[in-house]
Amino acid sequence: MESLEELYTIQDSFSNDFLWGVAFSAKQTEGSFDRGITVADLQDYNPKDATKVKGDLSETEILNRLENPSNYYFPKEKGIDFYHRYKEDLELIAKLGVKCLRFSISWARIFPNDDEIPSQIGLDFYDSILQILNDKGITPIITLYHDDMPVRLALEYNGFLSKDINESFIRYAQLILTRYKDKVNHWIIFNQINLTRVGLSSLGIVKDKVTDLEAAKWQAVHNKMVTAAKIVSLGREISKDFRFGSMLADFIVNPETCEPKDIVFATEKNQMTMFLYADVQFFGEYPGYALRYFKENNICIQSDKNELKVLKENTMDFLAISYYNSNVVSAKENSMKIGDSKINPYLEANPWGWTINPRGLYDSFIRYWDRYHKPLMIAENGFGAIETKENDMIDDQYRIQYLNDHLYAIKKAIRQGVNVFAYCLWSPFDIVSSGTSEMKKRYGLIFVDQDDFGKGSGNRFPKKSYYWYQNVIQTNGDSLESFEDDFK
Ligand code: BG6
């Protein structure tokens, strides 16, 4: 007889082929040069109202922004000019020693004007990026849609609500999958499929062009899930090496108190805001709790037997999670809407009220693994802070602490048997905030000399965290430190 320890492999830390990486999106970095305008481009920066998530615009508001651009400042139109500086930026990323890079391809760069003729200049841009990554031995993880609906498709068709636009997206995906089949294996079709708070960017729905926004959102989410399954089906024909990921924004909530009502409310809210999406994408069918919710809330999603078959036959391979913070809920005070929650009083927060909870990440990963038993990756994790560059290097010890603790939480999850294959830090450089369009919400390991209005040299300066992460990668995570004695 042998001991279980001898019979099984017990993972003590990150595997030798662990993918250490960084992540960013097209809409926050590239700028709108040489491509079509997206709904993200129209999210203006307004210092008097910078705390709210922008984006659920009416038709009039969209047209007003398109027709009178000088009345606004649109930071995502410039991004951080990655479009022109990508060679220098990729060099800095490579020097970190990363093994992977998660980035998104912009649909509006590939099909700027219509849905038939792809832009050669757009394809050349991504050809060049992928060639550089290939030469440097960095594994690409590509997101096909990172909340940047071409504005013409939102205005004319209400985006993913339209079956035609879902077909257009499939054609775009097929083109990209085929073109890069020898360079890319990991695909995340949709960024954060559960984060439908801003229906315009995630779904392409113009709010006043539908009678019931809530019902329209659910229909568009359903369409996206069928579209994703069709892309998986096509992808399996294109390459047997392809791996497809379902991606969720971690919005797992805990009950504010141990009152049974709060506990059950948190459970049901996690089902409808988190697990539903991954349940469909991994188990291939709608769970009973969702069908009950739709029935009781008069949400009538249109589908057919063929779509259900497509969902059943084309499930995902891995689960990608973006994790930043965690909150609590009260049955009395909160609704089922994603993001409607309360601050956990035990946690500290950044200036935007995003709490810091590495234990929450550990807890979430245990739940995902228990439920799906699919390989997990962190698609995004990072710390937004206000920073200014004087003469010296930015000493961002708070970011180092945040990253250390979250990475340590992942290491602990691995030690507990969770299969985690990649970690993509958000983000290698300071970029335009998705939610507020500010530049001052800086996540970067590299400072970008650019302010909220796009002023500055645009030059890049590594912060202390850049060298810290470089060392973490070099030591394959051995340099990470436990942050509390009871968390080993
Ligand atoms: C994620 C998005 O939800 O959150 C990213 O996928 C985004 O695009 C990140 O940047 C952080 O949000 P914010 O609003 O601070 O940029």
Distance of CA 434 from the midpoint of ligand 1 (Å)? 5
What is the 3-state secondary structure of 38-100?
A: ECHHHCCCCHHHCCCCCCCCCHHHHHHHHHCHHHCCCHHHCCCCHHHHHHHHHHHHHHCCCCE
* Closest atom of ligand 1 to CA, residue 195: 3
Distance of CA 50 from the midpoint of ligand 1 (Å)? 14
Residue nearest to atom 7 of ligand 1 (CA): 434
* Closest atom of ligand 1 to CA, residue 382: 11
pLDDT tens column, 367-426: 999 999 999 999 999 999 999 987 789 999 999 999 999 999 999 999 999 999 999 999
Could you tell me if the CB of 191 is within 6 A of ligand 1? Answer: yes
Do residues 108 and 150 make contact, with C-beta atoms less than 8 angstroms apart? yes
Mean pLDDT of all residues in the chain?
A: 95
Could you tell me if the CB of 25 is within 6 A of ligand 1? Answer: yes
pLDDT band at residue 54 using 50, 70 and 90 as cut-offs: low
* Closest atom of ligand 1 to CA, residue 354: 15
Residue nearest to atom 9 of ligand 1 (CA): 434
* Closest atom of ligand 1 to CA, residue 25: 8
Q: What is the mean pLDDT of residues 223-229?
A: 98
* Closest atom of ligand 1 to CA, residue 441: 15
153's tokens: 């498709």
**Residues 450, 106, 61: CA angle, nearest 5 degrees:** 75
Please state, for a pLDDT cut of 90, what percent of the chain lies above it: 93
Residue nearest to atom 15 of ligand 1 (CA): 433
In degrees rounded to 5, what are phi and psi of residue 21? -155, -175
* Closest atom of ligand 1 to CA, residue 191: 6
Could you tell me if the CB of 152 is within 6 A of ligand 1? Answer: no
Distance of CA 298 from the midpoint of ligand 1 (Å)? 31
* Closest atom of ligand 1 to CA, residue 427: 10
pLDDT at residue 487, as a whole number: 80
Please state, for a pLDDT cut of 70, what percent of the chain lies above it: 99
Could you tell me if the CB of 441 is within 6 A of ligand 1? Answer: yes
pLDDT at residue 483, as a whole number: 80
CA distance linking residue 270 with residue 123, whole number of Å: 39
Residue nearest to atom 8 of ligand 1 (CA): 434
Could you tell me if the CB of 106 is within 6 A of ligand 1? Answer: no
* Closest atom of ligand 1 to CA, residue 53: 14
Distance of CA 399 from the midpoint of ligand 1 (Å)? 16
Query: Which of 380, 402, 424 gets mutated to test ligand 1 (max ligand atoms within 8 A of its CB)?
Result: 380
Distance of CA 42 to the CA centre of its chain: 20
DSSP letter for 273, please: I
pLDDT at residue 486, as a whole number: 76
Could you tell me if the CB of 381 is within 6 A of ligand 1? Answer: no
| pLDDT beyond 70 at 55 | no
Name the CATH architecture for the domain at 4-474.
Alpha-Beta Barrel (3.20)
Entry pTM: 0.97
pLDDT band at residue 355 using 50, 70 and 90 as cut-offs: very high
Query: Which of 190, 426, 441 gets mutated to test ligand 1 (max ligand atoms within 8 A of its CB)?
Result: 426
pLDDT tens column, 249-285: 999 999 999 999 999 999 999 999 999 999 999 999 9
Distance of CA 433 from the midpoint of ligand 1 (Å)? 6
Query: Which of 54, 191, 201, 322 gets mutated to test ligand 1 (max ligand atoms within 8 A of its CB)?
Result: 322
CA distance linking residue 442 with residue 385, whole number of Å: 5
pLDDT at residue 51, as a whole number: 62
pLDDT at residue 237, as a whole number: 98
pLDDT at residue 156, as a whole number: 94
| pLDDT beyond 90 at 52 | no
Could you tell me if the CB of 21 is within 6 A of ligand 1? Answer: no
- CA-based end-to-end distance of the chain: 31
pLDDT tens column, 118-176: 999 999 999 999 999 999 999 999 999 999 999 999 999 999 999 999 999 999 999 99
| pLDDT beyond 60 at 53 | no
278's tokens: 């991954």
Query: Which of 434, 436, 437, 438 gets mutated to test ligand 1 (max ligand atoms within 8 A of its CB)?
Result: 434
pLDDT tens column, 200-214: 999 999 999 999 999
Cα Rg for the chain, rounded, in angstroms?
22
Distance of CA 213 from the midpoint of ligand 1 (Å)? 23
Distance of CA 435 from the midpoint of ligand 1 (Å)? 6
CA distance linking residue 356 with residue 347, whole number of Å: 6
Alpha-helical runs (H) found in 284-356? 288-296, 305-313
Do residues 104 and 191 make contact, with C-beta atoms less than 8 angstroms apart? yes
pLDDT at residue 50, as a whole number: 64
